[in-house]
Homo-oligomer: A and B are copies of this chain.
Amino acid sequence: MGNLGLQEALDGRWAHVRRAAREQLAGTHFVAVPGETLEQSRERISRLVRELPVDPGIAAGFPIAYGGGGDPGGSAVAAEMLAQLDLSLMVKAGVQWGLFGGAVVALGTAKHHDAYLRDIISADLMGCFAMTETGHGSDVQQLRTTCTYDPGTQTFDLHTPHEAARKDYIGNAARDGRMAVVFAQLITGGRRYGVHAWLVPVRDDQGRPMPGVTIGDDGPKAGLLGVDNGRLSFDHVTVPREMLLDRYGQVAPDGTYSSPIENDTRRFFTMLGTLVRGRVVVGGSASAATRSALTIAVRYGEVRRQFAAPGEHREIALNDYLAHQRTLLIALATTYGLSFAQEELVSALHEVQTADGPVDEHRQRELESRAAGLKAVQTWHATRTIQACREALGGAGYLAENRLPGLKADTDVFTTFEGDNTVLLQLVAKGLLTGYRDAFGSLDGWGRATFVAEQVREMVLERTAARSLIQRLVDAVPGRDDEVALTDRGWHLRMFEDREKHLLDGAIRRLRKGAARKRPFDIFNDVQDHVLEVALAHVDRIVLEAFVAGIERTADPAAKELLAKVADLYALSTIEAHKGWYLEHQRLTPPRSKAITAKVNDLLKQLRPHMAELVDAFAIPDEWLACAALREEPARQATMTAHDDELLATPVSA
């Protein structure tokens, strides 16, 4: 089973990390257990997370000097493999080593690294990442928790002024965390310096809350039961001066503040930018869950039969129905595209975070934008696709024993955590509008709308990987669209970039026009739908270009040929989904638009025999799929077929 060439193409640059995970985590030991209570799930995940292999998974993201792998890309891929296995396990690990450990690495300095990193890697020190507040999730620059320096005692006073400022949805808080990286407004000498982070003990050795710390429990959630999300409030908690994670801002004993970055906003978004890996991991994890769901639905659709064809005895396999193909195969093609785009994103993360010398600000902003856009698109794609897969299993898809309910419930939160998708897409659009010049990793929404409206520039497309190949393909397209073959890759690329460019140009025009005569809030708000479309069109192009680059890298000729067809389906089904726009802007004639629908159906027919092969290439161990129907349905179908003769031999009355 499987197509090794295809699997190799998907496994990509960090294939060794994927292989290690499949081997180290083999069997059922780490697999999700359906129907657990909240307490059972928390207990199991808390235990399992400490049993995870350190190398290469957990250690990959940490500095080599502290026993880490110095491999940020590998660390993101290792997290994605955990997500392939169980999402509670991934999130719990992600909180401990990605968010908590990652913040200590990125925002702390040698004294923090020396004191804590080894215990963090070994999980002897479990921690939280306490940024979000009940009142401020998206607008983190406006957090209300304060941390005020007192030169008399040389300590900070950490304080939660009201309920909306309590830290909320904090993983590891309700049960296991001993310390937390707490984000708060730094105040010293009577002045605010914006949000900074401190390492703060929240529980003592017996697991009791530290004095002044109140710990709440977020209780039952839609999913991710194994993650103990909770609430933290601080009632004038004393924090020693050296517990400020001070890489980007220092407070001297006398209270003097200093920072390598003068501007508060710039500093804050630079700090956030160092934590971009979390967003990369969430997008990749969503796609991993999507691959699990598609594998289940496609394999089930191969064996499950319903309704006999006219004049035939045997019923028809679900995958033979066009409507089933329209749902599963198009989602599968998109998932392939997203997997290549994610691989490219992880590579970009790796290059930026392992580069010598000062940070290349432009590349950093571009990375943040890509991470934001691909996180939003992958998590929404996961939500839609897992739902479709659950429906594709009928009633069986509703039973916990068939895994899909868990996949659906666990991934749901991804659309709003590590950044609300709508807010993230605005960030992407803003980056495009300003050429990343001043967009930072900013989630500041509307605050500087006027500024953005004034700064928008003529658009220049940033090319992704395989720049020259893509330009060649685009340039090779003959002049008149109507004469170009529907499967011409250069034409696909041109259609995608044309949409992006035209939408962006239109947004620029409308913003400029609005800036002259509207209230600042309305300038942006009146075009919010248009701006979000720009971001989505941008991500579509990034995905197609990554798909093209991925095919180019594929060595195996058969795999390459199949991937090209899958890319055709991705490209044409995306154009079909936006045919309204293309027709409105006369990029498609009505006859050609109809021809695209016919061609999509034709591609579905061609790809039908390869459906199983395409999910096999995801190489997900059977045990990880944890789906009872996949184990039982083939035997049931066989027995039914054997028995059918008896019933069907009985003559009917009419």
Contact = CB atoms under 8 A, between A and B. Distances in A.
Interface of A: 34-35, 37-38, 132, 134-139, 142, 144, 146, 161-165, 168-169, 185, 187, 190-194, 218-223, 257, 262-264, 306-312, 315-316, 320-323, 326, 383, 387, 390-391, 394-401, 404-405, 408-409, 412-413, 415-417, 420-422, 444-450, 519-521, 525-526, 528-529, 532, 578-580, 583-586, 590, 593-594, 597, 601, 632, 635-637, 639-640, 642-644, 646-647, 650-654
Nearest to A135: B640
Contact of A580 (B387, B398, B579, B585): B579
Residue of A142, A326, A450 with most chain B CB atoms under a 10 A cut-off: A142
A309 B590 contact: no
Contacts of A37: 37
A27 to B, nearest CB: 22
A311 B164 contact: no
Contacts of A219: 34-35, 399-401
Given A165-B640, A579-B583, A583-B590, 5 more contacts: A135-B636, A135-B637, A161-B646, A219-B399, A584-B594
Contacts of A322: 525-526, 528-529
Contacts of A529: 322-323, 326, 597, 601
Q: Which 6 A-B pairs have CB atoms at the shortest separation, nearest pair first?
A: A35-B220, A222-B405, A583-B583, A310-B520, A307-B445, A580-B580
A169 B401 CA distance: 13
Contacts of A34: 219-220
A395 B309 CA distance: 48
Given A219-B35, A398-B413, A586-B590, A526 B445 contact: no
Contacts of A193: 652-653
A521 B639 contact: no
A394 B137 contact: yes
Given A139-B306, A222-B398, A315-B139, A640 B164 contact: yes
B395 A413 contact: yes
Contacts of A163: 632, 635-636, 639
24 contacts: A134-B636, A139-B306, A142-B307, A161-B643, A161-B646, A162-B639, A162-B640, A163-B632, A164-B640, A165-B640, A192-B653, A193-B653, A194-B652, A221-B400, A262-B654, A264-B654, A307-B445, A309-B520, A311-B520, A321-B528, A322-B526, A391-B416, A391-B420, A526-B601
